[in-house]
Structure 1
Amino acid sequence: MTDTTAGQRSFWLRHLHRWHWISSALCLIGMLLFAFTGITLNHAAQIEARPDITEHDIVLPESLLASLSMPDSPDAPLPPVLRDFLIQQIGVDPGHRPAEWSDRDIYLALPRPGGDAWLSIDLASGELLYEHTDRGWIAWLNDLHKGRNTGTAWAWFIDIFAVACLVFCLTGLFLLHLHGRQRPATWPLVGLGLVAPLLLIILFIHS
């Protein structure tokens, strides 16, 4: 090996190792979470869940009910005065989610990780029904894995985490290439990682 070749190898080893450990540090907790929830999702039918359901049935004050008029858009968010009432009475902040307005009622879906919630308001009687379902912490973690009802910030985290995982895997691949000559089992093991899932798909997964 010439001095130039050795210098290039040393350069790439140094930088690949640096990016490999940085990306692995960034990915560590996320990969543990996603690996664990991969197991829980794969065995969701065997993991017993006992939903905890909370319900509220109240009547809006007449003054508040009288102030509710059909907005210009049938999917407008709830007005601030109604949002304040919900926060004070049942501890629920609907934010600026779009609601479904009609001549008879208002319906608002409040999905969230690990559960669900909704509320409806009868515009004739002022009756407000609210129901919240909590399916437990495993369901919550599973929904984080899937990005279900988690919002924009978590969606960005998943994208950034995925990029870090790609950096981790690709730098690992190049490190395998650089060390492959000294470790004969390297490429057979890499090939096994490719062939094993392909065989499972071909032999056991049918459309």
Structure 2
Amino acid sequence: MPVKKFTKLRRLNIATHRDLGYFFSTLIVVYCLSGLALNHVDDWNPDFIITKKDIKISEAMLPGAVDKPLIDSLGRMVGEEKYKVYDVPTKGQVKIYYDNASFHVNFDTHTGVYEKVARRPLFYQSNLFHRNSVKGWRWFADVFAVALILLNITGLFILKGKHGLGGRGKWWMAAGLLPPIIFYIIHELS
């Protein structure tokens, strides 16, 4: 191949790598954050923050009947003004449902448990994309996957000589195969 053609091809490779890298850089970070969160789903809830608070109920609030005024006064105790619905699961108890919260009150023990659910910032949104929960996103995710392959391939040919693929690059590529091979063998043996 003539040197001039090789130089043009090399420049095109570098420009493609650079431009795809810039274009997809934010999405790469989003997928990495989401991947970290989803890897540890057994340790924490990557989508929601669930806050529980134990509440003492005064004896003065013991109901003659469970009605709207009682439900409203219980709501004020936990900073909720508008309930969706309430029910009486068993005698002496009431469970009140709010937007993204609930309050379970036990009048026999004079206690209540207020539970609020909030979306975990950044992680909730990034997980929507990582799990393909957004309608139509799958097609863009496929484009992104192909672009990552292209980014990888173009990156292999950026450096030349002893620092490039023909030099130490081939050894790093070979070393990169080791973790999946080792973990696959461990998986198969267990």
For the 8 Å contact 1:17–1:171, the answer to whether it is kept is yes
Alignment of 1:64-103 (within 5 A): none
Partner of 2:84: 56
Q: Once the 2 structures are TM-superposed, how far is the Cα of residue 159 of structure 1 from its aligned partner?
A: 2.1
For the 8 Å contact 1:24–1:168, the answer to whether it is kept is yes
Q: Percent identity over the alignment?
A: 22
For the 8 Å contact 2:33–2:126, the answer to whether it is kept is no
TM-score by length of 2: 0.55
Partner of 2:176: 193
For the 8 Å contact 1:180–1:187, the answer to whether it is kept is no
Change (3 A) 1:37 1:55: farther
Change (3 A) 1:197 1:9: same
Q: Give the letter for the 2:49 counterpart.
A: R
Partner of 2:19: 22
TM-score by length of 1: 0.51
Runs of 5+ unmatched residues, structure 2? 52-81, 86-99, 101-116
Instruction: Please point out which of 36, 40, 52 is paired with 2:37.
Output: 40
Q: Deviations over 1:145-168 (max 9, x none)?
A: 111x3111x223212222221221
Instruction: Please point out which of 135, 138, 143 is paired with 1:151.
Output: 135
Q: Helix, strand or coil for the counterpart of 2:84?
A: strand
Partner of 1:136: 120
CA distance in 2, matches of 1:47, 1:11: 50
CA distance in 2, matches of 1:160, 1:55: 44
Q: Helix, strand or coil for the counterpart of 1:185?
A: helix
Structure ID, larger Rg: 2
Q: Helix, strand or coil for the counterpart of 2:49?
A: coil
Q: Once the 2 structures are TM-superposed, how far is the Cα of residue 14 of structure 1 from its aligned partner?
A: 0.8
Q: Helix, strand or coil for the counterpart of 1:151?
A: coil
Q: Which runs of 4+ in 1 moved over 6 A?
A: none
Change (3 A) 1:198 1:180: farther
